[in-house]
Chain A
Amino acid sequence: MAAAQAVSSGRRHFRSLEFTLGILFAGGMSLAVLLSPFLFPDGGESMDLMARLVPPFQKAAHILGTDPLGRDMLARVVVGGKISLTVGLLSMLGAMTIGTLVGLAAGYYRGIAEILLMRFADIQLALPFILVAIMFLAILGTGVDKVIFFMIVAQWVQYARLVRGSVLALREREFIQSARAIGVGNGRIIFTHILPNVLGPIVILMTLNVANNILLESSLTFIGLGVDPLIPSWGGMLADGRTYLQTAWWVSVFPGLAIMFTVLGLNLLGDWLRDLLDPTGQTGK
C-alpha cells in the first residue's frame, strides 16, 4: 500500500507540473487578451509610418517591433488573440458538445438513427472543407458568429465518429452489461458509465481541435471569407507576415509563437485533465 501511495503522490506532482505550465501559457494568454482593452486602448490600430518594420528589442515603445504599417506588434498580438481564441474555443466547444451527444446516441442505441447519422457524417467528411466554406459563407455572409457557426457544422463530425467508435467498444464491455443487469436505466448508463470512459480521447481531440481552428480561421480570413481582415487575428497576421519573412521575421514569428504557446498550454491542460479523470492513471502512459 505504501508503494501504491508513493506512485500516486508522484503522479500528482507531475500532474501539478503540467497544470502549472498549462495555466501559465494558456491562462496567461487568455488573461492578456481579456485585459487588452485596458492595456492597449487603441486596439493595435495606431500606425506610425515613420517607424515601419522596427526590429524587436530596439525601441522601448515597440518591444516586439512593428509591422509594415508601423503598428506595434505586442499590441497586435495581444489584441489579435481575441478573435483567435474566441473562434478557436467557442467553435471547439460547440462541435464537441454536439458531436459527443450524437456519437453517444448513435453508438449506444444503434439502429436506423446510427446509420443515417453516420452516413451523413461520411458525406460531410468527403466534401472539401474550403469548397463548402465558400458556398456556406457566401450565402450566410461573413462575421465572427458565422465563422464559428460554420466551424461547428464542419467539425462536429470528428467528435461524433470518435465517440461513436469508443461507445461501440464500451457498450459490450462487462461493466456496462453488469450495470444493465443491476437495472440501471439507459440515460444513467450513458452519462455515468459511458461518458466518463470516453472523455480521454475527447479531451485529446479538443486540444488538437483548438489549434486547428485558430489556423482555419486564418485561412478563411485569407480567402476573404472569415472575419473582417482589418481586425487583427493571429492567423491573419501570420498570413500577412509571409511576404516579409526574408526581411522582417518578427512580423510572422510572434503571432506564430502566440499560437504555439496557447496550444501547448491547452495540450498540457488537456493531459492534466485526462489524468485527473482517469483514476487508474493508465491511459496514454
Chain B
Amino acid sequence: MSEHTAKIGSANEPLLSVRSLSVEFRTDQGAFRAVKDVSFDVQPGKTLAVVGESGSGKSVTSLAIMRLTDYTGGRIAGGEVLFRPKGGEAIDLVKASDDTLRGIRGKDIAMIFQEPMTSLNPVFTIGNQIGETLALHEGLNTRDSRLRAKELLQKVRLPDADKLLDRYPHQLSGGMRQRVMIAMALACNPKLLIADEPTTALDVTIQAQILNIIRDLQQEMGTAVIFITHDMGVVAEMADDVVVMWKGDKVEQAPVREIFAAPKHPYTRALLSAVPRLGSLKGQPLPKRSPVMVMDGGEPRQVGETHVQNTANYTKPILQVDKLTTRFDVGKTFFGRVTHRVHAVEEVSFDIYPGETLALVGESGSGKSTIGRTLQQLIEPTGGTVRFDGRDMNAMSHGERRRLRQQIQYIFQDPFASLDPRHTVGYSIAEPIVVHGLIKDRKAIDKRVQELLEQVGLQPQHAKRYPHEFSGGQRQRVCIARALASDPKLIIADESVSALDVSIQAQIVNLLMELQERRGLSYLFITHDMAVVEKISHRVAVMYLGQIVEIGTRQAVFENPQHSYTRKLLSAVPIADPQRERAKTRIEGEIPSPVRPVGKEPAIHRMHEVEPGHWVALEADTMRGAA
C-alpha cells in the first residue's frame, strides 16, 4: 500500500500500542469481561481495521483506548495503551490523569461514531459545534474559528460551506452530517482517528463518498485510523492491517491481503465464507443457495447445501401492481391547506410470479418500503390498482381484504422491535392462526406452533420463552415462523436481513430460500444491500425517487446495467476483495428529496425494453424528474 506512506514518526515506532488490554463490565452476575487480553499496534499514517460481529468487543476496545469506557460502566481491568504523539514521550492512557486525557481527546485522538444524528447537538449550529472544538483545543477566537470551520467543511467536500455553518443538524442529510462529524474530528489535525462503524447507517452511494473522503484526508494529513466495522467489504477497501475479534478475544491479525487470501483462524474463515460478494453469481441465470460455515463450539461446521433455486413459475402472476401511487401530505398552512406532499411512490408497476423472488432495491427515500407497506394495507394508496391472484384489491370487501392479510405476510427489519415484548414467542406465532381462525383447537395450535419453530431451525420448547431471551438471528427466525403461520403465498421481507451479522444473515437467506422451495412462496425482497440481492433474487427492480428506473432478471440488471443510477449503485458497493484496485470513479451528489410543493408533480419516466423482460427508464426523463 504505497499510497499510505507514513508521514510522521519513524516507521518502526508504532503511534499507539495496545498491550494485553482487558475491559470488564459490572453486571448482576459479577464482572463480565468484554475484552480479553487484546494487543495490537497502530502505525502512523496507516489504517487498522478491527472487525467482528456484535458482541465481539470491537467497539468496547475502541472506547477503552480513549478511556471512554469509564463513562459507560466499564473498567479497564488490565494492560496498557501506549500513545506516542509526535516527538513526545509515550503516555500510558490507562494510567493518565483525567486532565491529560481531556487534552488528548479530540486533539490528538479524535473519534467518529456510527449515528451522526445523535452525535451532533440539535440546538447548536454546525459552525458553533466545530468552533467549540477549535476554541477548546486551539484557543482560536470566534472569527478565526469560523474561518477554520469553513476550511474544514470544504475539506470534507461540503458545498456552500459558508451557509452550512449557520444551519442546524436537522437541516442536513445523514451523509452531510457524517461529513460534519469528520470535519469536527479532523479540526485539530489529530494523529489518530478512531472511526466506529462510521458508514453503517448510511446509503451505499453516500458510504462510498464518506470512505473516499476519509481515505483522501488520511493521505493528505498523515492521520492513522482505527476503523471499527463488521463489513468485510469496507475492510477490503480501507484497511492496511486487520484485527479480527471474536467474543472478546483477538483471534487473528494480519495485513489485509493475507487475511482475505489465507485466513488462519477458523472463525476468520467462517466469517469470510459468509460474506456475500457482489459478482459471485456472474453468468448464472438463477439464484443459488450455498453452504455457510458456522462456529459450533470453537470449531467451524458447514451447514446447508448447494442448490439452484429454480422455483419460479412464470405462467400466471400472483401479484400484479399497476401504476401504484402513494403520497403523504406534509406541511399545511394555518387553515389546514396542504402545501407539500411526499411523492413516495409514483406510478410503479410490476408483477410477482409464484415461487419467485423480486428484489426491490434503492436507497433511503426511494419509496421501496412504502410499496411494501401499501401492499400489506398498512398505508392507503393514492392511486393505481393491485391485483392479488387476479382479483382487484380496490374491489374487495372488508372481509376479503382481511383475508388478504393472511395470504400476504410481512417480515420487518428489526426482529426485536417487531415482536411484542410482553408475550411469549409461542403466543406471537399463534396469533395469525387465532386471528384468522385457521385452527380452532388449542392443542392443535400448540402443535402447529412447535412445527413452525422446527421449520425455522428452533426448538419446540422455545415457544414458552420471551423475545428478549433470544439472540437477534433467533428472533428473526421467530418472525419468519410467525409469517409462515398463516400459510401465506407472498411474503414481503422489508430489509429483513440488514440488521443481522453476516454469518447469521447468510443462514437466514438460506432459510428463506429453502422455505421458498418447500412451499412455493413468492418473496418481495426489499433491501439496499446489492450483494444479498444477487444471492436471493430471480428478478430485480431498481427504485429511485419513487419510481422504477430499471427492472429485469437479476442476471440482466447486474451484468448488463443500463440505467446510470443502477450502475452508480452497483459501483458503490464495497467489494470484499483487497486485490481490486481502490481508486474508483468518484461518486458525487446527494439523493434528492421526494417532498414537492402541491401542483408540482414529478414527471413519470417512460420505460423502454432493452432486451426481453429488461425495462429501463429513459435517462432524460430521470434527470428531469430529479430536478
Nearest CB to that of A196 among chain B residues? B422
Residues 418-436 (chain B) with a chain A CB within 8 angstroms: 418-424, 431-432, 435-436
Which of A85-93, A139-147, A275-283 lines the interface with chain B?
A275-283
Is the CB–CB distance between A185 and B435 below 8 Å? Answer: yes
CB of B620 within 8 Å of the partner chain: no
CB of B307 within 8 Å of the partner chain: no
CB of B537 within 8 Å of the partner chain: no
Partner of A183, one of B28, B405, B417, B466: B405
Given A6-B29, A177-B378, A182-B486, check contact A280 B431 (CB 8 Å): no
CB of B482 within 8 Å of the partner chain: yes
Q: Which residues of B contact A184 (CB under 8 A)?
A: 431, 435
Given A182-B431, A279-B468, check contact A175 B420 (CB 8 Å): yes
Bits for B471-483, please: 1 = Cβ < 8 Å to A, else 0.
0000000010010
CA gap between A6 and B413 in the complex, in Å: 32
Is the CB–CB distance between B402 and A181 below 8 Å? Answer: no
Q: Which residues of B contact A178 (CB under 8 A)?
A: 410, 412, 418-419, 479, 482
Q: Which residues of B contact A173 (CB under 8 A)?
A: 417
Chain B interface, DSSP helix/strand/loop, else mixed: loop
Is the CB–CB distance between A279 and B422 below 8 Å? Answer: yes
How far, in Å, is A208 (CB) from chain B's closest CB? 23
How far, in Å, is A12 (CB) from chain B's closest CB? 13
CB of B409 within 8 Å of the partner chain: yes
Is the CB–CB distance between B378 and A181 below 8 Å? Answer: yes
Is the CB–CB distance between A7 and B29 below 8 Å? Answer: yes
CB of B357 within 8 Å of the partner chain: no
Given A3-B29, A7-B28, A181-B378, check contact A175 B419 (CB 8 Å): yes
Residues 421-458 (chain B) with a chain A CB within 8 angstroms: 421-424, 431-432, 435-436
How far, in Å, is A185 (CB) from chain B's closest CB? 7
Is the CB–CB distance between A181 and B410 below 8 Å? Answer: yes
Bits for A170-205, please: 1 = Cβ < 8 Å to B, else 0.
000111011111111100100011001100000000
Q: Which residues of A contact B402 (CB under 8 A)?
A: 183
Is the CB–CB distance between A280 and B468 below 8 Å? Answer: yes
How far, in Å, is A174 (CB) from chain B's closest CB? 4
Nearest CB to that of A182 among chain B residues? B432
- Determine which residue in A175, A188, A192 has the highest number of CB atoms from chain B within 10 A of its CB, and name it: A175
Bits for A194-238, please: 1 = Cβ < 8 Å to B, else 0.
001100000000000000000000000000000000000000000
How far, in Å, is B372 (CB) from chain A's closest CB? 10
Q: Which residues of A contact B435 (CB under 8 A)?
A: 182-185, 188
CA gap between A178 and B28 in the complex, in Å: 33
CA gap between A184 and B422 in the complex, in Å: 16
9 contacts between A and B (CB under 8 A): A7-B28, A7-B29, A174-B414, A174-B418, A179-B431, A182-B482, A184-B431, A193-B420, A280-B466
Mark A residues whose CB is within 8 Å of B: 3-4, 6-7, 10, 173-175, 177-185, 188, 192-193, 196-197, 277-280, 282
Q: What are the 7 A-B residue pairs with the smallest beta carbon separation, nearest first?
A: A183-B405, A174-B417, A181-B410, A196-B422, A174-B418, A178-B418, A279-B466
Mark B residues whose CB is within 8 Å of A: 28-29, 376, 378, 402-403, 405-406, 409-410, 412-414, 417-424, 431-432, 435-436, 466, 468-469, 479, 482, 486
